[in-house]
Every structure is written in C-alpha cells, then in structure tokens.
Chain A
C-alpha cells in the first residue's frame, strides 16, 4: 500500500508546511531534503500519526506500524539498553521468553550485544543510534521514519551510518524508509527518490540523478550544493552577469538562472582551443582545501568555484593571484527559471 499525502498543510509554532503532495511507494527509500527547521520533522510526525495535518489527507497509514527515530534518539534514560529495545514488545504484553530472543538477535545484528545491560547515559552517539534502531526494529514496523539520523554524529560515524542504512535497505525491500536530512550528499547516496523541501513547500521530487542534474529552482540548486548559480537576462544565447557574457542554451529570456557544477569546469594555465564555447580568464581569489579536493575561487567578473584534485593542484602550483583560464561546455549548464 503506497503512502499518499494530499494537499497536506500544517503550521506549528515557527514551522509551516504548505500543500504537500507526495506519493511514496511501498518498500522505497525516500529522502526528504531540506534545510534544518524547514518543517521536515512535522511531515514525519504527521505520517506517524503523532500530529494531525491542519488540512489535507494522509492515506495509506491504516494499520501500518512505524519505527520512528528522532535526531537525538530519545533513548529512555530510566531504562537499560535491553529494556529500551524491548519497550515496544513490553507494551504489547509479550512474555519475557518471547522478548529475549528478539532483543538479543537485534543486538547482535547491530553490534551492541555488549551494551545490553548498560544504562543509556554514557553511550557514544553511534551506540545510541544503534540502540534506537534496534528499539524501532523490535516491533517489525512497515515504515521507518528517520529524523536527521546523522546530524549529531561525527564524520566517520556518519559515513558508517549511511552504509549501514544502505545495506539495511538492500536486505529489507519490504519496509518503506523515509529519511529526512539537510545533507544533500547523504540524500543523493541513500535515496531511491528525493523530495526537496524549501520554505515549507515540496519544490521538486525525483530520482537523485534527475534532481541533481535538473534542479527545479535557484534555491534547490543552492541546496543541492551547486556553488555556481547565477541569474540574469539572456539575448542571442548570451547571459550577461556583471560584465561577463556566458553562452547559454537559451535563445533569449528576461531572466533565467544557470548553475554549473564545480567539477564541470576545467582550469588551465593558458587558453586552449576546444569545442567548449565558454572560456574565461580570471584571477585566483581563494583556495579552499577540502578533504579530497581543492576548491579554487576564480574571479572572472563573477566568482566561480572550481573543484580540482590535489594532484592537479600540486602540478599546476596554483597560488592566490594567479591568472588562470576557466572553460566549460554549454551543455553542462543547468538552466531554470526561478
């Protein structure tokens, strides 16, 4: 049974979501991507039946069990790890003999067997998360709801969690996973489909590939990690921004936006002949060293953010103030109206 949200709206304290229309397939891994505090938690809580929508309907949730994991895991502090995991089963008045094997099996799968007798207070972030997952899994839910599950974790724990979720979904094709995050890389790597929630509205929905390569709006592009988003009027296929003329695939328009991925731009020490129609000379304004790539900020009249590898960076010996050429194809430009 698919989950259907029809014209769902809700306002609650500082958050508001408007006219959400969404269909999530059974067994799908669906990621809701949006900035923190955009009301993403509200959507999850409404799906789980914790809050009613102000207007609109949510269909497909009858008789569905939900496994909800909040951002801070909300492990019951007055219960041991074992009793936390067993909570849902205890509520259903299962006997101790029935509960024990379930809890122990889950603890083993999630590598927390050694924590069963511990209190939840002193667990690490990663350990708390696995206890929260075990607790949710114990009731065999049909739908899992994750509210920013990696936001409170350090980078290595975050990556471990992402691969944990990925493998989990591979093994369990029957459960629906709805995962809320503000991290676009996480969304792109985990989701079967992504929905982008900005300002309370679902601005785009589709497969990661589709969404990433065809952002629906400037704000969506910004959020998807596009560092080069520019807007302006177009005449005869030329977009004018701050004195720079970029060749674009649109003949003419009053105002459009373009976005270029940082790794779609080539930089070189000298101008070279190529089939690419966009080639600009500029000055290196800043060099940002990220974990496996270097981001060069090149001022060609507008500021371009260009990603290159460490190797290239070293070979080209780039310094601030250097004059370099940036080249990119017209076909690598994403164009959208707002």
Chain B
C-alpha cells in the first residue's frame, strides 16, 4: 500500500519543489525518485543476466568440474570448439584485416553495400545461415560435385560456420581501430620512403594492435558459442554447445549442467581478457 502511494506521489510532485521541505524519509525518497527508478530498472536487467550464470557456477563444485573436464568426450569437444574457432579467427585475420583497412581508408562505389554484407551474419538467424552455407558447400552443391569432396561433418565445416557468424566482430573492431589512426602517419611513412605495404606493416598495423587483439578475442569467443550454424553443417564431431544440447535432450538438465558450467567459465575467462585489453587503450 505504501508503495502504491509512494508511486502515486512520484508521478504527481515535481522533484524541484521538494527542495525546501523538511527532511523525512518519504521526502528523501521522493526527491531521489529519478535515480531510484532508473536504478531499479537497471538492477532488474542485470539480475536477469547474472542469476542464471551465477547459479550455473555455484551449482557445480570444482571437483565435479574437473571430473567433467576429464571425460574424453567433454575434453575432445571443448578442445575441438576452441581449435575450430581459432582456425576461423586466423582465417579472418588474413582476410579481414586488409578489408578493414580498405573500409576505413578508402571510399569506393558500393562501399556501403560491402559494409552491409559484412554485418549480415549478425542479423541472419543462425540455423538459416547454416542452411545457406550448406547449399553452397554441401553434398548436393556445385562445389562438392566439382571437387568430389564433402566437407559436411568435418572440422573445416565447423570453422566455416563459426567464421561466417563471427567475422563481423573482427572486421568491425579492426575497422574502427584503423579509423582512429590519422592517415597522416601513413603518409609521413611514404614520404620517408616506405612503399604502401611497408607503411601499412610498419606503421598502421602496430598502431592498431589493440583493436586486432580485442577483435580477435571477441571473434574467437563468439565462434566458441556458436550453435545453430555449426549444427547444420556438422552435428558431429560435436562442439561444446552441441554436446550440451545433446546431453540435455537425451539425459536431462542435471546431466547437462557440468559441461555448461565449464563452458560458461571458459567464455567468462575470454570475456575478461577482452575487457582487460580494451581498458589498456
């Protein structure tokens, strides 16, 4: 009841008029209502995210986690996930960093289109992305017919799916990094005798190091958590998110918990690493 009356009062009295009123708890709360409402809403949101993750972490003891990690199936799965995402990230570095530089430096016809295409994987539902990739690289595709090779169910397919959905993070992070570097640094290098490549490799790249690292870590982490696209291209071998899904489907919540907790821990560690690098800037 008190709450309702408090809320009604909040809506009616402008805070400024409360300046000279005598100090009572109610008046104090009324004056602070802006901050209180904002804080409450924010707190609910943070709680919504925090509680499930926290529960996962405290429900498994370190002992259980270690045991789970030792299981061959789990160990292989997690290792596969980390490895496949790493390959995807490395491929993205080779192809994405030059692209990021072009997008940051040059204006060309269709640039907005290219930037839009780079952003697409973030919007497309991931299973849809998986199906789309399948139509190009799958058993019935042109590629498969010509090369005689099927990548379905291979680690390469997993990396490709991970690459597809997470490369925007790397490209955009590095692009923003390049944008922050004044072009005159590169121009100065050229006047000092550097070729465009030398100016890029000896001046631009070192200066954009932090963006490359944080973009790579972000992409790697994003690839590790990918489910929808990966599962279409390769249910087996199972990456960790797929393993969790299968355990849950076949054996229920309790059986899926330890692997989940393990995976969350690893993701958290990656996340913290990104923040540390971002802060150092």
Question: A residues within 8 Å of B by Cβ?
Answer: 45, 48, 50, 65-68, 70, 72, 74, 76-78, 87-88, 91-92, 135-136, 139, 145
Contacts and interface: CB of A to CB of B under 8 A. Distances in A.
B202 interface: yes
Given A66-B191, A68-B187, A70-B188, 8 more contacts: A50-B191, A68-B188, A68-B191, A70-B184, A74-B185, A76-B185, A76-B189, A88-B192
A139 B188 CA distance: 13
Contacts of A135: 192
B57 interface: no
Nearest to B182: A74
Nearest to A51: B187
Interface residues of chain B: helix, strand, loop or mixed (majority): helix
Contact of A88 (B185, B193, B206, B207): B193
Interface in B99-115: none
Contacts of B182: 72, 74
Nearest to B205: A78
B203 interface: yes
Contacts of B256: none
Most central of B185, B192, B194 by chain A CB within 10 Å:
B192
Contacts of A74: 182, 184-185, 187-188
B192 A45 contact: no
Interface in B155-204: 182, 184-185, 187-194, 198, 202-203
Given A76-B203, A91-B198, A139 B185 contact: no
Contacts of B207: 76-78
A50 B190 contact: yes
A72 B184 contact: yes
Given A45-B187, A50-B187, A139 B203 contact: no
Interface size class of B (residues with CB under 8 A): 10 to 19
18 contacts: A48-B187, A50-B187, A50-B190, A50-B191, A65-B193, A67-B191, A68-B187, A68-B191, A76-B185, A77-B207, A78-B207, A87-B189, A88-B192, A91-B202, A136-B191, A136-B192, A139-B193, A145-B191
Interface in B185-238: 185, 187-194, 198, 202-203, 206-207, 209
Contacts of A91: 189, 192-194, 198, 202
List the 8 closest A-B pairs by CB distance, nearest first.
A88-B192, A68-B191, A78-B206, A74-B188, A91-B193, A74-B184, A70-B184, A91-B194
A145 B209 CA distance: 30
Nearest to B198: A91
A287 to B, nearest CB: 43
Contacts of A88: 192-193
Contacts of B187: 45, 48, 50, 68, 70, 74
Nearest to B181: A77
Contacts of A66: 191
A68 B192 CA distance: 8
Contacts of B192: 87-88, 91, 135-136, 139
Most central of A67, A68, A135 by chain B CB within 10 Å:
A68
Nearest to A76: B203
Most central of B185, B207, B209 by chain A CB within 10 Å:
B185
A11 to B, nearest CB: 14
Nearest to B185: A74
Interface string B22-34: 0000000000000
Nearest to B209: A78
A322 B61 CA distance: 92
Nearest to B195: A91
